[in-house]
Amino acid sequence: MKQNTFTKLLAVGAVCALTLGTALAQTSTTVTTDPNAGVTTGTSVTTGTTTGSTSATTTSSTLDGTGTITTYTPGSDYIMFRSETSTEPVKYYYSKNTTVVDPTGATVEMSMLKPDMPVRYTYVKEGDRMVISKVTLEKPISYYKKETTTTTTTTP
């Protein structure tokens, strides 16, 4: 009787150890190229989890690109970029977590973005959408600010 119970406990322990080992398995890091954003590099990590007979897989990819802003309207939820290698602009979505910085790393307001600004950007593919996490201007924002001077001439 005691030997039968001990054998069952030993078998259950072996199954738990095997399940735990499989649940903690991770796959390798890969470099990805996105044809829509020119030459891009990024990291893709896939984590597999197995519990009993069910399994779930989560994939996250962070990619970088360079290009020029073609369309941005404050209040909309997207920006369109034309990459250096593509002739057609591609739509990228942004969120409240998207940051915009100048070349020195200083934060810039999203409303300061204008068409024809060269930028570098980091984004994540979420399903069929590309969501931008960071936009870095290639030139300082002061380069784009136009100074206007008004000359007033009065005659006595």
Domain segments of the chain: what residues? 62-142
For 10, 27, 28, 61, 150, the CA distances from 50, given in Å and listed in that order, are 21, 14, 18, 22, 70
Query: Average pLDDT by consecutive 10-residue portion of the chain (156 residues)?
Result: 70 61 47 44 46 50 88 89 86 91 90 90 90 92 70 78
Question: SS3 for 36?
Answer: helix
> What class does CATH assign to 62-142?
mainly beta
Which amino acid would we find at residue 93?
Y
Q: What is the pLDDT of residue 156?
A: 72
- What pLDDT is attached to residue 100? 93
- Measured between alpha carbons, how far is 155 from 100 in angstroms, rounded to an integer? 48
**83 vs 69: CA distance, rounded Å:** 9
Predicted local distance difference test score (pLDDT) of residue 35: 44
pTM of the model: 0.55
